[in-house]
Structure 1
Amino acid sequence: MRFSKCLILVLSVALSSLFSSSSVFSQEESSKSASEYTMQTHVIKSKILNEERTVVVQLPKSYKANSNKVYPVIYRLDGANNLPLISSVIERLQNTNSAPEVIVVAIENTDRLRDLYPTVNEEPQGPVGLGGGGAVFLSFFEKELIPLIDKTYRTHDFKVISGASAAGVFVLYAMQARPHLFQAHLAYSPAVWWNYGAATTRTKQFIKETHTLDTYLYMNIGEESGVMRERYDELQQFILHNKPTNMTYVSDAFDGVQHDLTAVAGVFNAYHKLFMPKQMPLNALSKDVASIDAYYEKLSKQWGDNIEPPEGAVRQLGYQLVRSQNYDKAINVFIHNTKLHPNSVDAWFGLSYGYESKEDNANALNSLEHAIKLADKSYPYFDMLMSSQARLKAVVLN
């Protein structure tokens, strides 16, 4: 990706008026308009950290209207100034059914280096003697913050943690120390140079010892050089070639993008490749049509909804297979669609199209007549059904 594309994304965020960002007290709403996000601020008296911590919670636009709906949660390190970027990208994805609505929890900093680095830096090129509070900060997440969010809001068990630079190191640490606490980990330009590359060493060891890990990891880097680039590249290549079973690993490298802009450059790819679209992509379809059911079962767990395979989405898979002349596989998909949606005119019409594409006109006619039995004149393509029936009858009878 070129820097110009990043600039376009920045401008789109700058022009976005997605929500009001006025400050509020704990659990008081900053927006009550249905067209805006609702934001609430919590001040937590943390016993673990022995200090007060502020978090800003952004609720989806549909939160109040859908009182039974549950949502995945994104935990974003480094504060609420990251909310507009996340909101803009995810809302664009939502508009194409490529991402669910989410709750976003932004954690404000007090002592950033202390909390986000799990080891004290002893390397002279950095601030010597700082860091080392990562374990305590992660305990705050596990025992105080996440339970508070789950108790206060309608969440489900799909959680994302996201952060850049030092916060990216914390993201990697969370994956190692509590592998199942978060289901997705987004580390933008993680500062793995810290303390002689301790994050690289520890993450490599974790990956080496972990055989199965059902998680999503996104990492990226910009125009870094020197030991930062060396240690990042070492880690990136190791994960690429040794990732555990069931891990989804995505990485980007952005030429000409400075360190502080890697989150902006990577946020679209990070979420676009994390969230499963409601339209199942053809490359997710295996030889067995059971992969359709498996896809939507996993999608449901990610989105927090019980999403059965949509008739139109499955039919589109069949059409794509027909276009590539993979007729037998297309017919199997169309048949599966009629089993999922036995009373759908479109499902049977699609199966007829699959058979006719293979020049199996007898089965095409049988499927079409099943569709006609289900249809009435209010069906928008009723005339097309009847003309197709006449055409197929003429071919079969001859």
Structure 2
Amino acid sequence: MKKLSNIILLLITIVSCHSNLTTKTSNSNKKTTIDSLTIGYKYTFKSKLLNENRPIIISLPKKYSTSNANYPVLYLTDGMQNIWHTIGTIEVLTRTGNIPPLIVVGIESTNRKRDFTFTNSDNNPESGGGLTFLSFIESELIPHIETNYRVNSFRVLEGHSLGGLFTASVLMEKPNLFDAYIMMSPSFWWNKEEATEKAKLFFKANPDIEKKLFFGIGTYESGTKWGMRKELTNFIDAIKENQPKKLQFEHKEMEKEGHMSSPLLSTYYGLKYTFSDMLFTDEIYDNYTDEKFLKHENFIMTKYGKEAKQSAEEYLGLAFNLINKEKYSNAITILKRSVEAYDFDINIRMILASTYEKNNDIKKAIATYKKAVNLPLKYKLSREKEIRKHIIRLENN
């Protein structure tokens, strides 16, 4: 990573220590090592366009330092407020194969009404600075991120409340800047719902736009015939009136959630929807061929980076379906990909070896068991004796 003179590095940690510490326990002489759990790094970015020092939080995928993969980027408004639940959500969704690993760029707010509104309001004299804030993101922040980090071309913008209004405004002002937009409880009431009026013209004028949009809101935020839920529905209706063929969107209400609690679920469902094309299609399940499977895997890795993968459960479910049909060669194709994606998983390697044996490929079964034996001790789950018995059995047959 390049070192820039205008960046000051501050480490954000979940616990108070910034390095490994050693301390004595209260009832023994044993020492305990306390490791800091880092969720990201906080920078002070000197913006010429904003004429201010803007706090930026960068959170990198777990394997960033040990891989050479390129990653999609999530740009998150109200960064300090939203970074905690967003990183936790991403960890769960990445681990379960619903989304690829992401770089997260949290942009801290210094004046929300100024930055998130594109027009001035008589009641808010500082408002209307949204275009300048957008220029900062486009001309300063994105180039910095793409120069200093390994990113691929897929970008997502997410915002809550006035940040949701800003996100929708960016879609209509610079539709090609991001590939997907997550709008949480957007403040479409601003200036008498002017964003909705603009949307009516925008979607009619852009019939070929190809984006994914997610809109989330809590049912406790208003009634259905007034307030923010109604204003969001009005915006959705503006999309439906002239919906471009390649535009995809989802509108979801979070049951019994209010304005400040709904972003947790909106982020969860919004990210799942944004990356929903990662999941296996019905065609792969119903009419499986190796060609279809590998084409899909290559597609998600090309679009979202080579760390993109299904959950281990998805791979195994598809493989076992084929094993039950005695289509061992097809199952092996899936299991080999699964071992590649989860190279630490002893169980997947054992299943692959067993499937090689069922397919009468004893040499590859033995080789796979031997690779399992050579996994680090922490991954073998005390199964080394079991694995060696399989090797001896197959070598003696």
With normalisation by structure 2, the TM-score equals: 0.69
Matches within 5 A, 1:157-196: 157-196=153-192
What is the match of residue 151 of structure 1? 147
Question: Aligned equivalents of 1:311 and 1:41: distance in 2?
Answer: 33
What is the match of residue 83 of structure 2? 83
Cα displacement string for residues 116-137 of structure 1 (whole angstroms, at most 9, x for unaligned residues): 0112236xxxx35553222221
State the number of aligned residues: 334
Give the C-alpha shift of residue 259 in structure 1.
2.0
What is the match of residue 222 of structure 2? 224
Alignment-mate amino acid for residue 26 of structure 1:
I
Question: Aligned equivalents of 2:292 and 2:201: distance in 1?
Answer: 33
Question: Aligned equivalents of 1:67 and 1:350: distance in 2?
Answer: 30
Question: Aligned equivalents of 1:134 and 1:176: distance in 2?
Answer: 13
Cα displacement string for residues 212-262 of structure 1 (whole angstroms, at most 9, x for unaligned residues): 333221101223242533331122234356443333312211343222222
Matches within 5 A, 1:1-398: 26-30=8-12, 36-37=37-38, 39-64=40-65, 66=66, 68-121=68-121, 127=123, 129-222=125-218, 223-225=221-223, 226-240=226-240, 242-276=242-276, 280=280, 282=282, 289=289, 291-305=292-306, 316-317=317-318, 319-320=320-321, 371=361, 374-376=364-366
The question of whether the paired residues in 2 share the 8 Å contact of 1:158 and 1:301 is answered with no
SS at match of 1:263: helix
Cα displacement string for residues 54-92 of structure 1 (whole angstroms, at most 9, x for unaligned residues): 21222333333x152332221111131211101111112
The question of whether the paired residues in 2 share the 8 Å contact of 1:280 and 1:314 is answered with no
Give the C-alpha shift of residue 342 in structure 1.
9.5
Cα displacement string for residues 114-167 of structure 1 (whole angstroms, at most 9, x for unaligned residues): 210112236xxxx35553222221111110011111222222222221111110
Question: Aligned equivalents of 2:237 and 2:331: distance in 1?
Answer: 41
Give the C-alpha shift of residue 277 in structure 1.
8.5
SS at match of 2:9: coil
Give the C-alpha shift of residue 336 in structure 1.
5.9
Question: Aligned equivalents of 1:108 and 1:273: distance in 2?
Answer: 25
In structure 2, the CA distance between the partners of 1:298 and 1:135, relative to structure 1 (3 Å rule), is farther
Question: Aligned equivalents of 2:359 and 2:205: distance in 1?
Answer: 58
When structure 1 is superposed on structure 2, of 41-50 and 193-202 the one drifting more is 41-50
The question of whether the paired residues in 2 share the 8 Å contact of 1:311 and 1:341 is answered with no
Question: Aligned equivalents of 2:233 and 2:358: distance in 1?
Answer: 57
The question of whether the paired residues in 2 share the 8 Å contact of 1:115 and 1:136 is answered with yes
The question of whether the paired residues in 2 share the 8 Å contact of 1:311 and 1:337 is answered with no
What is the match of residue 19 of structure 1? none
Question: Aligned equivalents of 1:304 and 1:183: distance in 2?
Answer: 15
Question: Aligned equivalents of 2:323 and 2:165: distance in 1?
Answer: 47
User: Which structure 2 residue ranges, 5 or more long, are not aligned?
Assistant: 1-6, 20-34, 338-348, 370-386
The question of whether the paired residues in 2 share the 8 Å contact of 1:345 and 1:371 is answered with no
Provide the identity percentage: 27
When structure 1 is superposed on structure 2, of 29-38 and 309-318 the one drifting more is 309-318
In structure 2, the CA distance between the partners of 1:217 and 1:376, relative to structure 1 (3 Å rule), is same
SS at match of 1:118: coil
In structure 2, the CA distance between the partners of 1:335 and 1:251, relative to structure 1 (3 Å rule), is farther
In structure 2, the CA distance between the partners of 1:239 and 1:96, relative to structure 1 (3 Å rule), is same
Cα displacement string for residues 178-204 of structure 1 (whole angstroms, at most 9, x for unaligned residues): 222112211001111111111112223
In structure 2, the CA distance between the partners of 1:251 and 1:320, relative to structure 1 (3 Å rule), is farther
